[in-house]
Structure 1
Amino acid sequence: MSDVALTTFEHVFEVDPRLMQRWVLQQTFPNWDTLRIMNARHDHLDWMHRHFADKVLSGSELLAEVDGEDGSPDS
């Protein structure tokens, strides 16, 4: 985890709002709204994939591809 990240709920990482207050007026953000957004993120990703993606790759597929690249011209 980064020094600039806060954990308000398990598996929810947020940028420390104090780092943004110089440029962006900070508002009180209720916990229920954070949980609502967190619980809807998979629905949003599914919608984005259906409308804009030709192919959806998992993170493990991407990591395997990166790990397979050894920099040699034969790869």
Structure 2
Amino acid sequence: MIGFRYSAQRPPDPRRINDAVVQRFDHVYEVDPALMRDHVRQHDFPAWDTRRIVDSRWEHLAWMHDHWADSVISGEELMEDEPTGE
């Protein structure tokens, strides 16, 4: 069994970024939980679990590319192909 005291691992209070986004940790943006309460049950999420997920996201992305992508393009390349809408 894994145990922890949530009171010792409570994430920092969120900083508002805009009407829909908050930030608790640097470079980690979240949809404001208040906007989701009516649609998705909200759970207490310890700070260590957020850090674990953030620390492993590049490794996960690399794994997905290795196993599923024929090629990988950057966001800049993708935006170059977007119509300007004019």
Q: TM bucket by the smaller chain?
A: 0.7 to 0.9
TM-score, normalization by structure 2: 0.69
- Structure with the bigger percentage of helix: 1
Matched, 1:18 2:34: yes
Pairwise CA distance, 1:64: 3.2
- Aligned identity (percent) is 49
Pairwise CA distance, 1:57: 0.3
| 1:47-62 to 2 correspondences below 5 Å | 47-62=63-78
Pairwise CA distance, 1:23: 1.9
Q: Which sections of structure 1, spanning at least 5 residues, go unmatched?
A: none
Matched, 1:4 2:4: no
Q: Deviations over 1:33-66 (max 9, x none)?
A: 1111111100110111011100000112223333
Partner-residue secondary structure (3-state), 2:29: strand
Partner-residue secondary structure (3-state), 1:46: helix
Q: Which sections of structure 2, spanning at least 5 residues, go unmatched?
A: 1-16
Q: Flag as ranges the 4+ runs of structure 1 deviating above 3 A.
A: none
TM-score, normalization by structure 1: 0.78
Q: CA RMSD, aligned part only? A: 1.8
Matched length:
69
